[in-house]
Chain A
């Protein structure tokens, strides 16, 4: 098709005008590219969607504010997302792919195992990996200088839990521990056993169940025969829902029942209804805990408000909180690094010591966020109450069966 000179002139004029307008609106620099292998389908799809929602909220907010200033130039942010289908090896392949497509930093996927795989790739290419949902120390003890995690170590949580229960539950002396044989739940189970023994409790049952277990009746029958004061179960939501029902059905009634991270997810309380009442847990973040800090969400309230709107009225959980905390931290990291090169970003990450709405972020030698007081929560009347630390407590511990 041949255009007449008049029409061609009009079209080119329009194109120029469009380019000029666009140029005035756009930020000065090239986009900062953040790689994000996500589990958008498969077993961890819900967790992957949670991460994606927060990434989208943050990118929109940052870009609306004109982007992030690096060495005097404002850059918009852009996520390079791929679905790794909850398949660990594929997470590693996609981490490589996002790096080849120009990612300057990677947000690791959900969970300790998949974060570890992604971090190995990041190290190979000298691209920093920020893990916002990996808390097992075994992920961080590999000497990888390019891995940083915003959750605090598991052992920190379990010591606080043992100390809290010993203070609040008169006569607490025995504990049964039952955990899933997977990186995070196993690490929580062993950390709890160690903390309980250090705290003078007797561990009367300590077993793991394999991934793929769909029945806990044998273990629960064994636990019942020990009649422990405290039952501590770790696993993912579906395991914990099943275990809670079977504990009730087989007549196990401890004074305290802890399920990690069960009640930290709204799906747990929704799935169990009244049976969730009384279950205690630990979490890395709860939206009632108010901190102030840097970035596009300077307060917990500002994040909570935006999240409510973006999610259609849902409450955020620790996955949302930790990932959003990691992203507001990155705003600060990019500014401090003054460069978008991997090693410079790594150094800036390592030097991080800031406050965010999610809490303080200060990476230790191994790249993990330093220990701090983490909330202990309990389901009371199908609602989450914070029991500890005292400064933010919204309720007192209720013993099971009271």
Chain B
């Protein structure tokens, strides 16, 4: 067993998981909305990146920023138009609403883009260090995933919008009394969640096939990462993603690939039993 290769596989995959989950975690933590649209947002980001590359000839890395901004606008509009109307309702209501919106988005994409898997082939090969193979596309993806997560972390810590989001997350009534327009912050937060999903979609288009078939899989991964890492916290998503990536990588070799996904869920269940807030979660957001 080549432990170095397994750790490398796990870390690269884990960083991609973190990138996938951070927007989902933010929306869940701040709005208490389990956003069923998240997987389809990632796929939409992937399609936009794919078509930007195929039709207009824009490099996927250059497409990342405009794609993320398009998704921000879409997310903001959806929250302001639909979800804000029921955001204070029990979590089942928002879950059902986002589930319905997801079915619409998913099938619109399937009808217009078809479910045929599409792949951006950058053909960058891999680099080898001490017998460990690291695919360049995945390394770029990992770098971008970490950078995006770091940018979001800094934004949440230092910008006035970020502080307002944190304030709403901690106590929306007190935040409203302080003059924060809560509904606007909700829409911005949902927009940022979609923005991160769109950016993840651009990164993923370089690594995974782009197809609507994967939207449910991505949503499931985001869910597990959030529970492992802790809700609403950017570092939590990073830690949760890396933990899941490593667990899947080792379980894939030691227990067989068919048990790798189960191992991730077992980790999630164990954490729910012993530490329901997740590894880095804050009490009250479990």
Contact = CB atoms under 8 A, between A and B. Distances in A.
Contacts of B253: 218, 221-222
A219 B252 contact: yes
Interface of B: 1-2, 5-6, 9, 12-13, 107, 110-111, 114-119, 121, 123, 125-126, 128, 133, 135, 137-138, 208-209, 211-214, 216-218, 220-221, 248-253, 256-258, 260-262
Contacts of A249: 125-126, 133, 135, 137-138
B1 to A, nearest CB: 8
A219 B97 CA distance: 38
Q: Is the interface of B mostly helix, strand, loop or mixed?
A: helix
Given A45-B212, A218-B9, 16 more contacts: A45-B110, A49-B114, A210-B260, A210-B261, A215-B9, A215-B13, A215-B248, A217-B13, A218-B6, A219-B252, A225-B2, A237-B116, A238-B213, A246-B135, A272-B121, A273-B121
A213 B107 CA distance: 22
A217 B249 contact: yes
Interface stretch (A36-44, A58-66, A146-154, A366-374): A36-44
Given A217-B13, A218-B252, A249-B135, A241 B209 contact: yes
A219 B118 CA distance: 23
A208 interface: yes
A261 to B, nearest CB: 14
A218 B246 CA distance: 10
Contacts of A200: none
B125 A238 contact: no
Given A181-B258, A207-B258, A218-B253, A44 B115 contact: yes
A43 B98 CA distance: 19
Interface of A: 41-46, 49, 178, 181, 207-210, 212-219, 221-222, 225, 237-238, 241-242, 245-246, 248-251, 267, 271-275
A56 to B, nearest CB: 17
Nearest to A220: B9
Nearest to A44: B115
A34 to B, nearest CB: 24
Q: Kindly name the residue among A41, A181, A225, A238 whose own CB sees the greatest number of chain B CB atoms within 10 A.
A: A238
Contacts of A45: 110-111, 114-115, 212
A-B residue pairs, 4 tightest by C-beta: A218-B252, A249-B135, A217-B9, A238-B117
Given A41-B110, A249-B133, A271-B118, A214 B208 contact: yes
A31 to B, nearest CB: 28
Contacts of A248: 125
A42 B250 CA distance: 32
A212 B39 CA distance: 13
B255 to A, nearest CB: 10
Given A214-B217, A249-B125, A250-B135, A42 B110 contact: yes
B115 to A, nearest CB: 5
A210 B211 CA distance: 18
B132 to A, nearest CB: 10
B9 A251 contact: no
A218 B117 contact: no
A218 B138 contact: no
A49 B110 CA distance: 11
Given A221-B5, A249-B125, A275-B121, A43 B213 contact: yes
12 contacts: A41-B110, A45-B110, A46-B114, A209-B260, A217-B9, A237-B116, A241-B117, A242-B209, A249-B138, A250-B133, A272-B121, A274-B123
